[in-house]
Amino acid sequence: MSDLKRSLSEAAAAAFQAAGLSPEFGRVTASDRPDLADFQCNGALAAAKSAKRNPREIAVQVVDHLKGDPRLASVEIAGVGFINMRVSAEALSARAKEIAADPRAGAALVESPRRVLVDYAGPNVAKPMHVGHLRASIIGESVKRLYRFRGDDVVGDAHFGDWGFQMGLLITAVMDEHPFIQALMEKLPEAPRGFTKADEDKVLAEFAALISLADLDRLYPLASTRQKEDLDYKERARRATAELQNGRFGYRLLWRHFVNVSRVALEREFHALGVDFDLWKGESDVQELIAPMVHQLEDKGLLVEDQGARIVRVSQEGDKRDVPPLLVVSSEGSAMYGTTDLATILDRRSSFDPHLILYCVDQRQADHFETVFRAAYLAGYAEPGTLEHIGFGTMNGSDGKPFKTRAGGVLKLHDLIEMAREKARERLREAGLGTELSPEAFEETAHKVGIAALKFADLQNFRGTSYVFDLDRFTSFEGKTGPYLLYQSVRIKSVLRKAAEAGLKAGRITIGEPAERDLAMLLDAFEGALTEAYDKKAPNFVAEHAYKLAQTFSKFYAACPIMSADDDATRASRLNLAQTTLRQLEQALDLLGIEAPERM
């Protein structure tokens, strides 16, 4: 089973081949003049150039070969040699029927599934999340779902930032605030003889009683500001970080408490956003791998001294792109962000052995990843081409700079979601929607509308583009928005409910009216949109398809009455089209990480 674009491409390829030309020229695309044709093939022009022949002559040969294909109602030459095709009603009906019967709503699977690891979100302990993390979460979740839906074996990993300087800052701040903890830390440079798991749990419980998430949220920014002015403080934090990393027992316990508290809170917020990880590994998880890795890099002759630090040079003379070297060990002897990323590649190789790792991280880290990837290829830790950075632009405020809250601070995911939810409530009330829902159901709908607004606003743009945060626009039920798509899907659900209540059943699809035709064409285009999104790691192609599908359905519904159709067969066919549209639309929304409510 394949979509029309692909099956017509195959036919055109055969036609080119029959004309003694490369089948490559047979690529068929959706027509840019839908009023004239459904599909077009421009291959005759390219073929003419390479074969030094007349394009029209080639087009005539190809068209002659294609004529009589039962799928085509017409195939004609336009201009200097463009080939225009119109699909027959029978072929379109058959394809629509196929999609209606397909649990995958017309989407194919990849031919050879791969193991793919998606590294996304990348939140940090205690440090507040910024818009980069929000976008990484939204885009990464969608890419993960897309790859999984295409049949790959996919694991999504949060890659928790739990090992940097911020840990030393927190330890220092907490000790300053709690003399009890300070004293305890002095008593516990290492595990006392006979210290059991139960003893550890007791200490952790004491930490839990003294330090809450709110405390971490309060202390981190204070400590982070202070270390900028107070060199002595900074030095203490730096030492604490080093001691933690060297395994100081008390610090490790305290650190475990920080990690636990942050993780629980973060997972709750991500879950509210509809972002769920398969793996929640942290930077700390690969620390044991670093020392042997450094040795190995040394043995391979890749490590060089540079002003007291040890680096891997990844650029060579004449390289198109000059990227900074990988800083493996700093002059102070610590492992760095890139060192951890390199060790993580080793860890992933031994645990999951991925064919591909996708890093969904802010575009501003492009150089960092280029450096890490090159080092990994040089060291033989990954096959060239199997590591890929999926960068993205920023979400900006109206001032054109990365979005900040009104108070000027970085946004908290929790607050952002609440803002979107509040706007969604307002919008629903304004539109007179959800009036029949129970208060709980109304809340749930408002939540779904709010999340859809945020996610769709993000995913409708190609990821590389930056966009401006505008909650009023994002939450509107009109225009290219998440709420519009939810509204359309709820509308279809309501039609289907009414039909079911009246005992009406969906039946055999026949395509006749132009609006039915347009809808069937769009249902067929799902596969093409998914392929593009998959190849380019760009969910905006799925978003675009969902939007067009909703719009096309809306026009279809206006032009082709369902309940009051002229006869039973037409009604059954249109009901089936509506049902199939809903399934495909919900599938597309699911790939964007968006959930539609049952009612509004």
> Cβ-closest residue to ligand ARG?
122
Q: Residue 23 carries which DSSP code? A: G
Residue among 359 and 557 whose Cβ is closer to ligand ARG: 359
CA dihedral 504, 510, 514, 515 (to 10 degrees): 30
Checking phi first, is residue 67 left (phi over 0); if not, alpha (psi -120 to 50) or beta?
A: beta
Distance of closest approach, residue 166 Cβ to ligand ARG, in angstroms: 10
| Angle of CA points 583, 584, 586, to nearest 5° | 65
CB of 159 to ligand ARG, least distance (A): 4
- Which lies closer to ligand ARG via its Cβ, residue 136 or residue 454? 136
Asked whether 22 and 16 are in contact (CB, 8 A), the reply is: yes
Of the candidates 126, 183, 276, the one whose C-alpha atom is nearest the C-alpha of residue 595 is: 276
Nearer residue to ligand ARG within complex by CB, 159 or 463: 159
Residue 394 beta carbon to ligand ARG: minimum distance, rounded to whole angstroms? 13
Cβ proximity to ligand ARG: between 340 and 581 the closer is 340
Q: Based on CB atoms, which residue is closest to ligand ARG, 159 or 421? A: 159
Q: Find the shortest distance in angstroms from Cβ 7 to ligand ARG.
A: 41
Q: For residue 77, give both structure tokens.
A: 């030459």
Q: How far is the CB of 119 from ligand ARG (least distance, A)?
A: 5
H or E segment and range at residue 390: strand 387-390
Q: Minimal distance in Å, beta carbon 95 to ligand ARG?
A: 42
* Min separation Cβ 229 and ligand ARG, Å: 24
Report the residue number, 119 or 458, with the smaller CB distance to ligand ARG.
Answer: 119
Question: What are the tokens at 82?
Answer: 């463009």
Is residue 233 within 8 Å of 226, Cβ to Cβ?
A: yes
Q: Which are the contacts of 148, defined by CB distance < 8 A and separation ≥ 6?
A: 154
Residue 359, beta-bridge partner list: 119, 389
Residue 122 or 597: the one with the smaller Cβ distance to ligand ARG is 122
Binding site for ligand ARG (CB under 6 A): 119, 122, 124, 159, 161, 341, 359, 361
Q: CB neighbours of 350 closer than 8 A, spacing ≥ 6?
A: none
CB of 162 to ligand ARG, least distance (A): 9
Distance CA(10)–CA(71), nearest Å, equals 12
Would you say 45 or 387 has its CB closer to ligand ARG? 387
Q: Which is nearer to ligand ARG, 66 or 155 (CB)?
A: 155
Closer residue to ligand ARG, CB minimum distance, 124 or 284: 124
CB burial string 161-174: b at 16+ within 10 A, e below: bbbbbbbbbbbbbb
Nearest to 486 by CA among 520, 457, 453: 453
Q: Name the minimum Å distance from CB 113 to ligand ARG.
A: 24
Q: Is 329 helix (H, G, I), strand (E, B) or coil?
A: strand
Give the C-alpha separation, 162 to 449, whole Å: 33
Considering just the CA atoms, what is the radius of gyration of the chain in Å?
29
The torsion region of residue 251 among left (phi > 0), alpha (psi -120 to 50) and beta comes to: alpha
Token match 């790691």: residue?
537
Q: 123 near 26, Cβ under 8 Å?
A: no
Contacts of residue 341, defined as CB under 8 A and 6 or more positions apart, other chains included, come to 368, 369, 372
Cβ at position 369, least distance to ligand ARG in Å: 8
Bridge partner list, 327 = 311
- At its nearest, how many Å lie between ligand ARG and the CB of residue 413? 13
Q: Are strands 39-41 and 28-30 parallel, antiparallel or unpaired?
A: antiparallel
By beta-carbon proximity to ligand ARG, the closer residue of 71 and 374 is 374
Q: Can you name the residues that pair with 242 across neighbouring β-strands?
A: none
